[in-house]
Amino acid sequence: MRFETAERFDRLEGRLEQRLSSMKIGAGGWVEEAVKRMEVEDEASVGIVGGVGLDLAKTNVKKLVIGRDDLNVVGIWGIGGSGKTTLANEICRDNQVRSYFNNRILFLTVSQSPDLAQLREKIWGFITGNEAMGYSNNSFVPPGKLQCEWGTGPRTLVVLDDVWSSSVLEQLIFKIPSYKTLVVSRFKFPTKVVGEVYQVQLLRDDESMSLFCHSAFGQKSIPPTANETLVKQIVNECKGLPLALKVIGASLRDQPEMYWVSAKKRLTRGEPICESHENKLLERMAISVDYLNKKVKECFLDLGSFPEDKKIPLDVLINMWVESHGIDEEDAFAILVELSDKNLLTLVKDARSGDAYSSYHEIYVTQHDVLRDLALHLSNLPDVNERKRLLMPRRDTELPRDWGRNTDRPFNAQIVSVHTGEMREMDWYRMEFPKAEVLILNFASNEYFLPPFMDDMPKLRALIIINYNTTEATLLNFSVFTNLTNLRSLWLEKVLVPELSNTTAPLRNLRKLSTVLCKVNNSFNPSVLDLPQIFPHLTELVIDHCDDLVKLPVSICKVNSLQSLSITNCHRLSELPAGFGLLKELQILRLYACLELKVLPPSIGELIGLKYLGISQCVNLRSLPREIGRLASLEIIDMRECPQIVNLPSPVMLLNLKSLRRVICDDEVSGDWKNVKRGMRHLHVQVAEKWYSLDWLHD
């Protein structure tokens, strides 16, 4: 997403203590400003790709993609950090390419440990036009002979990024006329697999200098105040690699000359792990990490805990840092922005949000795979039992063998990350983790037996369970939750949430609960569910894309500690409990894209602490209740794309909203709000832009 005006992200006007709450209710802040800065940086540096300039590189690749009908598979080849993916993305955005394929372009990241069945189904679903909201339900993919007999269909381009092996690639190629595959890889595949390849070159000296100076000085040349010889020496050590130039340049920005001298010496004497260019790159970029503040460096190393080429929800990362490093959320956000500014991670906005007004729930973190390799390399230097982070670098069918060989001693890791397929009870080692505070379970399967070693994690504070399968997984051994008495944050994604009761989940210290793409109806059985008894200290509840949620349990109204409730993309939610007004501590209420929600309960007027009300894309919501005028603390109302709301409560009622400072609405009701604004001079009425995009279908 590209934003053309400075107003697209609002700058905060308050002091430090106001920033966190503002970010959480969608009023901009450090993180969104960092997203915008990163987009501007990308725009400025994208013209330097492959050592020949972007236009010439695109021309060469376009000749292969749209100028050679005799080639079904073509490629972009180059070492890690050389700009291959940047070039591929520009090809996908090119108007001539989009027109040639009539916008039928699918971009998929394959990675080192791909789920081949899922990728094949996605590709076949795209080719045949049987996609369903970005998730393919196709269980049948024909063999090669039948593919050849499929016949000629519309022109289609599939881009396969980060392909690591020929055997994997061959399973993702479909032999269909008018269908073309663009392969992006660090490896050059045989011509019988990939017909012709464009090789991304390293940057020339002048291009290297321009890109480095842009990162280090904010301009394309060496400023008069800088030591020209020193700058040239450091640029020379980056060996023409765009990623190294950007990362090292950003790490030296605004630093004194002695800092630069020290960095140059370390770069010059750096010994490579082996002779490959990419491992030399790791050693050079390690210099940038070494100069980070200790806490910031630890947070950077934590990024190796997540699977390659996957978007990390910002909320997951912030909670993880808060719980494992003993920092508050403001500090975590500040670290996030610092890492972003130093090009050590990338902040991206989910295209599904489609606007510039959404909160940080729609912001994700990604990381170049070379930077992830660097984090893994640095984390794995100590002996396996003494590492702060016990990580699986990629998805595997079983746990690493060196873990099994060392089970006779406790593992002192604070963060444990596992990435597998289906796990049964016998697949787990018996391990002890007396110091573990964060456990991340990544998997792809229909069933998953939770690790028995969770019984031996007395200090566990954050648990993240993410299923990358196409369907929700059943969790077995849920009784291990009984011993997680110190758990404060729980993230569940694409699982069947078990029925909750006081005996199965006495999570009395849990502060944050997030369920994403889950089946939750059984867990919210009102006959057995007593939420305040199970979660007496819950402050934040997120329910996102849970399509079986029809009603909230009535007992939620008695969770007196609840401060933030976010129910998003739950299309079947039809009503809120009548006693909703009992949530006196509630400050944030997000009801985004709840399509069947028709009314808000009158008791909403009793939410005396409410600061943010978001009802955007609740397309069947008929009105704002007149009781809304009693919300004296309300600061922001976000009511975009609510076409049924054509009239507001009386201006007399709305004038009681003494704290209201911002309303985001459609043009149809903006006039009514501007009439209210005449009596509330501090009120800013923001008319939402219309946004139409289907790009998110291919995420």
> Count of CB atoms within 10 A of residue 600's CB?
23
Residue 400: predicted pLDDT: 92
* Amino acid identity, position 433: F
pTM for the whole structure: 0.74
Output the CA torsion sign for 353, 518, 420, 386.
Answer: positive
Tell me, what's the pLDDT at 166?
87
Task: Give the ranges where 67-109 is alpha helix by DSSP (H).
Answer: 84-93, 95-100
Residues 178, 192: Cα–Cα separation, whole Å: 19
Q: Give residue 83's identity as a one-letter amino acid code.
A: G
Rounded mean pLDDT for each run of 10 residues along the chain, 699 residues in total: 30 35 48 54 51 73 88 85 84 91 90 84 83 47 52 82 88 85 86 86 84 89 91 85 83 86 74 45 72 90 89 91 90 88 78 45 80 86 93 86 94 96 93 96 94 93 94 91 91 89 71 93 70 91 93 92 94 93 95 94 95 94 93 94 91 91 92 90 86 46
Q: Are 144 and 197 in contact (CB under 8 A)?
A: no
In the chain, list all ranges with CATH 3.80.10.10: 541-698
Which pLDDT belongs to residue 501? 66
- Residues, the chain: 699
Q: What is the DSSP letter of 200?
A: P
Residues β-bridged to residue 686: 664
Please, are residues 285 and 246 in contact by the beta-carbon 8 Å criterion?
no
Residue pair 641/616 in contact (Cβ under 8 Å)? The answer is yes
CA distance 495 to 450: 12
Give the architecture (CATH level 2) of 54-131+153-199.
3-Layer(aba) Sandwich (3.40)
CA separation for the pair 621, 134 (Å, rounded) = 26
pLDDT of residue 366: 87
Per residue in 146-183, is it b (16+ CB within 10 Å) or e — as a string? ebeebeeeebbbbbbbbbbeeebbeebbbebebbbbbb
Res 571: pLDDT: 93
Using alpha carbons, list the distances in angstroms from residue 414 to 296, 385, 386: 16, 11, 10
DSSP-H helix ranges across 220-368: 228-237, 242-252, 257-269, 277-290, 294-302, 314-325, 329-341
Q: What is the structure's pLDDT at 11?
A: 31
Residue 175's pLDDT is what?
Answer: 81
Cα–Cα dist 99/386, whole Å? 55
- pLDDT at position 342: 79
**Residue partners of 419: CB distance under 8 A and separation at least 6:** 113, 307, 392, 394, 395, 396, 442, 443
Q: In what order do the strands lie in the sheet with 495-496?
A: 447-449, 473-476, 495-496
SS3 397: coil
Q: Which fold has domain 541-698?
A: 3.80.10
In this structure, what DSSP letter does residue 545 have? S
Distance CA 454, CA 480 (A): 6
Pinpoint the residues of the chain covered by CATH 3.40.50.300: 54-131+153-199
Give the pLDDT confidence score for residue 1 in this predicted structure.
29
pLDDT of residue 508: 86
Q: Are 254 and 342 in contact (CB under 8 A)?
A: no
Cα distance between residue 94 and residue 101, in whole Å: 11
